[in-house]
Structure 1
């Protein structure tokens, strides 16, 4: 084939589609089998048109995949490093038909206030790219531990976690009724256990909240299921609770295409797909969780002005540290709290990068 049927763009791209129809696939960091299944479906569809596209990927259609291989790769349950790398689209037979177009300008940092110097933005952007590429200077023999710049760190103090919370959510209680307050603020952590630790800590700081109370009007929550994908209520959507009833949660959307809209979240029946038990059980509950903090994986695709990164344990897979640090719009946006096994605040942490995934990019 003389010309590529698909174009991979590392960054954000706007296309004039008035004369040519294209398929846009945003954030395609998912299993290669999803792309291969789409190819088979499109090839079957195009068979009805005089066999056009039968021997061409995606039925001869132009497909644009917009993403960044420095970000988190497909999640493989109990998978090894080879399993994870092998599940990426770069390991698919389709990759030989793709043309790679690299975009290197950090648009999040470009959107920062004009008061930030160009040199500071450029230096910070280059450092983030080095973290993502795994080329930043390391301080151990395994080339995985890096030193975080001092201006991005939460130091040792009476209560370092409180300092991180105050950075991400200053004047929290007076702003509980404000929708915009939570739109660009979050605390990120590598695991659900760390997220629960932060969320419980945050609840303890709110007035009138007892230990058995899960939610309070004004707090941010996150959807855990796809309720209305076409309407923008998907797994990972953030909302702010405005009213609580026994059967319905009334909340305002904080992200996505329905930003600012009021939604009604009902209780639904949830059945874990992989509980580790020899039987299935169901529970009727609200498909939400408290979202002062969220996992790094859930933050992909979001742009935030204030990010507190809580690391009581290091990141454990490719791209997590890069994703957490690259959510912000300026160098003053992130603060990192690193706690070692003895509970002492540290200045270094692990950076996991599978460099073999970049070989074909």
Structure 2
């Protein structure tokens, strides 16, 4: 559906081919019928050629001349680099921020265990603020949040749905303050709307943490790169898929490659454990999941 939007007759045949390939990845029929984790080949015309600095290569492919376009309102509107894990997101975002010559503002969160949690003196020492500061949890910003004016960020909470300020909304920072951040919406139906974002108390929902704590921080994350899972629901014109390690959950590869609106907007960089580029990667599809989805939709 994304590929067909705005397509002309001349491109229809090419669109049909790439759409069929994307569907075979999603259905687990690429490279033959497979169930589970299978190695598949990625088309050469979407691969990024890289020899040494792979992060630099994919950033250059997705955000060319980024410094010159920092104040261009539409430049970051629908571009992103997708990776499997949060650690890779942080690494790419830090690299791009280091290349932007603008004043850096570092915001540290205030972390504490929720008062509803019953903890004794031993646990109080175990969950001291400096321990909580080190937690990197999906869905909330890190303890240390580094921002610069002009950079794109993603909102992590619903703030004002009537004005499009929802979890996943993309914005561009226009002014940084100590207690509030001014930002401009660059995605959705409210592009150009300016808003002011305060610090908020954020409680992670990660079930792997055996207690509840809250982090008082700006509900934002830099989004030159984002995890594949976080990209679900996004429609982008340019996607760079960086796989220095393969995907690890059902349908993850399909989600990544189906974010784009055209074939020319998809760029993929894959490397092995030694850092050498390759043209194959793992696709994870469990047929029983697809079968269960089909059964549920018949009712």
TM-score by length of 2: 0.78
Residue 183 (structure 1) shift: 1.1
Say which of 247, 268, 273 aligns to 1:336. 268
Q: Which ranges in structure 2 are unaligned for 5 or more consecutive residues? A: 107-144, 295-299
Residues 110 and 232 (structure 1 numbering): CA distance in 2 closer, same or farther, change over 3 Å?
Answer: same
| Corresponding residue number in structure 2 for 1:148 | 42
**Where do residues 121-270 of structure 1 align in structure 2 (5 Å cutoff)?**
121-137=15-31, 144-208=38-102, 214-270=146-202
The CA RMSD measured in Å over matched residues stands at 2.5
| Corresponding residue number in structure 2 for 1:298 | 230
Tell me the distance in 1 between the aligned counterparts of 2:13 and 2:22: 14
Quick check: 295-304 or 186-195, which moved more?
295-304
Q: Does 1:314 align with 2:250?
A: no
Please identify which structure carries the higher strand content.
2
Asked if 2 retains the 8 angstrom alpha-carbon contact of 1:204 and 1:210, the reply is no
Using CA pairs under 8 Å that are at least 6 residues apart, name the structure with larger relative contact order, 1 or 2: 2
Asked if 1 retains the 8 angstrom alpha-carbon contact of 2:155 and 2:166, the reply is yes
Tell me the distance in 1 between the aligned counterparts of 2:146 and 2:171: 15
In the alignment of these two chains, the number of paired residues is 255
1:152-201 deviation per Cα after TM superposition (whole angstroms, max 9, x unaligned): 11123232322211111112112111221111111111111111111111
| Corresponding residue number in structure 2 for 1:84 | none
Tell me the distance in 2 between the aligned counterparts of 1:154 and 1:176: 24
| Corresponding residue number in structure 1 for 2:114 | none
| Corresponding residue number in structure 2 for 1:323 | 255
1:88-144 deviation per Cα after TM superposition (whole angstroms, max 9, x unaligned): xxxxxxxxxxxxxxxxxxx32123554853221111111011111110006999761
Residue 211 (structure 1) shift: 10
Tell me the distance in 2 between the aligned counterparts of 1:136 and 1:304: 24
Residues 277 and 120 (structure 1 numbering): CA distance in 2 closer, same or farther, change over 3 Å?
Answer: closer
Equivalent residue of 2:182, what SS?
A: strand
Equivalent residue of 2:17, what SS?
A: helix
TM-score by length of 1: 0.65
Quick check: 299-308 or 111-120, which moved more?
111-120
Asked if 1 retains the 8 angstrom alpha-carbon contact of 2:25 and 2:254, the reply is yes
Residues 245 and 126 (structure 1 numbering): CA distance in 2 closer, same or farther, change over 3 Å?
Answer: same
Asked if 2 retains the 8 angstrom alpha-carbon contact of 1:225 and 1:234, the reply is yes
Larger radius of gyration: 1
Q: Which ranges in structure 1 are unaligned for 5 or more consecutive residues? A: 1-106
Tell me the distance in 2 between the aligned counterparts of 1:341 and 1:328: 27
| Corresponding residue number in structure 2 for 1:13 | none
